[in-house]
Amino acid sequence: MDTIIGIIFISLIGTLLHFMYEWTGHKKIVSIFAAVNESTWEHIKIALTPTFIWTLYDGAVYGLNENYFVAKTASILVIILLIPILFYGYKLITKKSILIIDITIFYLAIIFSLLTFKYIVNIEPLHFFYRYISVVILFIIFGFYMVLTLLPIKNFLFKDPITKKYGIKGHSHHHNTEDK
């Protein structure tokens, strides 16, 4: 049951985060957690933000499980990998972005992420090495997550398809001012 609640929570918060930067009048602090443009990275980010928040719940429930950090890291990697693989995969065929498919990919990534988490926490305990490396990877992911909107990599994943710019500068209503 907690998997279903997690899917609903992450999907709902992620959907709201698509609009939050706009709703808050382009606050820079919000840009770290919410989508600032239509790039693939920003869509990954709005699935990661509520997934990190959900960690407060699943950490309390499963945190003592020996596979917890492996499960958490794997579930986050599912989001990071599945969204661009499915998005660019179907675009190879259609040669264009189709909104309903884009939205479906977002929700599928969340569903598969939580199913991956649930599967891994329920298998036999993994070797300590996997638990250790998962914690290291999780910290690396979180660090990149915190920085990449403000300092985006000049790469197709971070390029807004509308403005052809990166990060906050890729927002269609970007102003050269700080917080409004």
Residue that has been written with the tokens 């190879």 in this structure: 92
Compute the distance between CA of residue 111 and CA of residue 59 in angstroms, rounded to an integer: 18
List Cβ<8 Å contacts ≥24 apart for 95-104. Answer: 97/161, 102/43
User: Taking the complete model, does pTM exceed 0.85, yes or no?
Assistant: yes
> 12: how many CB neighbours lie within 10 A of its CB?
11
CA distance 19 to 10: 15
d(CA 87, CA 146): 23
Q: For a pLDDT cut of 90, what percent of the chain falls above it?
A: 84
User: For the segment 19-46, what is each residue's pLDDT rounded down to a tens digit?
Assistant: 999 999 999 899 999 999 999 999 999 9
